[in-house]
Each structure stands twice: as C-alpha cells, then as structure tokens.
Chain A
Amino acid sequence: DTEVTQTPKHLVMGMTNKKSLKCEQHMGHRAMYWYKQKAKKPPELMFVYSYEKLSINESVPSRFSPECPNSSLLNLHLHALQPEDSALYLCASSQRQGAEETQYFGPGTRLLVL
C-alpha cells in the first residue's frame, strides 16, 4: 500500500476562519511533507517533519501552522488566510531505504480563500 490520504478534498474559507487540513499514511514512513501548488506551477515545499519533529520550515507565514501528532498523521492548521493562499495543498511521505528515497503524494486539498 503506497497511499497517502488527505481530507478534505475541497475547502472554502473566509479570511477570518480557522480550518485544518489532514494527511495520513500507513506505510511506516518517518518523513512527511506539506507542499503548496498554484495553477500551472510545480509544488513548492512548505514544511518537512522527520521523526515527528519539524526539520524544515521554508519561511512559511505563521498563518500556516503544521502539526505532527504521531508518525502517521500530519495536520496543517490555517488561520487568517489571504486570497492569495488559495491553492492545491499536497501532503507527501517518504522513507530513505539504502540509496533510495521515493516521495509519495496524496491527492491534495483544493483550498479557496474568499
């Protein structure tokens, strides 16, 4: 099973709302990622968690708050977002095995900020 699941699939929120995106994997991977993808652009890395600790924050605004409750779950808490934050938010996971590290992506959450 190489599946990464994300909920919800679609989310519409106002600029004063608080919402959360959820990501789950059961492949035993110890690295999990959040990416943001705008239309016609490649994914941009936001955060990396390694062994449930935040290892990379790509200078993401504090209105995005990641959380890794356990090795299978990754959340992204959203608060006071701006319309320009509307995008596809992708979660991924990976595990380095010898010389190989494949990232597996979820289907994404399509976010619209009004």
Chain B
Amino acid sequence: KQEVTQIPAALSVPEGENLVLNCSFTDSAIYNLQWFRQDPGKGLTSLLLIQSSQREQTSGRLNASLDKSSGRSTLYIAASQPGDSATYLCAGLGIYNQGGKLIFGQGTELSVKP
C-alpha cells in the first residue's frame, strides 16, 4: 500500500531564502508524482508533475526532483517570497492504478516572512 510522507509539517523562513520541501513514498512502482500548492480555503494548484522516467522538472523558481530508488521527491524553491506562503502537497499516482487515484502526503505549511 502506497504511503506518502512530507517533512517538515511546517516551515517558516525569511524572504529571499532558498528552501527544500521533502516528500517520501513507500512504493517505488510510481507512475508519476505531482506537487500542488494550496492557499487557505482554496483549491489545489498543480505546480509540477514528474513522470516516473524523469528525474526533475523546473518551472520558474521551482524545481522538483524524483528518485524512485530511494522513494524520495524534493521541491526546491529559490529566492522565496511572501507570496509563496501556502501549504504544499505532494501526491503519487501508482503505476498499477489506472483509475487515477492520487495518494497525498500530509502537506508542508510554508510561511515566508517579509
């Protein structure tokens, strides 16, 4: 059974700092891994998707990596800004799950202080 864990649960950093959010999963038979951002009371915004054959994806100041052998993914945020404050969720899609069932981690609540 796939389990996804995110650490830390909460993170507070000063503006301008580079930071890394961690996601680990127990089943390496993963189809892809998706990173989301969620603002309080809002829906989820897809940030990056990494296919199982890929090692990383980049979008602007965001870089996500995937290491299937170790069961880990990281989301790197460069030069953080107060507008980056949100909860970040990673979710894995199992390789045998054609129904599209995402398994979510508990999320990391990020606060970037001006």
Q: Which residues in A have some Cβ–Cβ distance to B below 8 Å?
A: 2, 4, 6, 31, 33, 41-43, 45, 48, 50, 55-56, 88, 90, 92, 94, 96, 99-108, 110
Residues of B participating in the A interface, judged by any CB pair closer than 8 Å: 31-32, 34, 36, 41-46, 49, 51-53, 89, 91, 93, 98-102, 104-107
Please tell me if the beta carbons of B102 and A45 are within 8 angstroms of each other in the complex. Answer: yes
C-alpha gap A55/B82 in the complex (Å): 41
* Cα of A101 to Cα of B52 in the assembled complex, Å: 11
A-B interface, 7 closest residue pairs, ranked by CB to CB distance from nearest: A42-B104, A105-B44, A107-B43, A105-B43, A108-B43, A99-B51, A102-B49
Chain B residues contacting A106 (CB-CB under 8 Å) are 43
B99 CB contacts on chain A under 8 angstroms? 31, 48, 50, 55-56
Given contacts A31-B100, A42-B105, A56-B101, contact A104 B41 (CB under 8 A): no
| CB pairs A–B below 8 angstroms (22 shown) | A42-B105, A43-B104, A48-B99, A48-B101, A50-B99, A50-B100, A55-B99, A56-B99, A88-B41, A94-B100, A96-B98, A96-B100, A99-B52, A100-B51, A101-B32, A101-B93, A103-B91, A103-B100, A105-B43, A108-B41, A108-B43, A110-B41
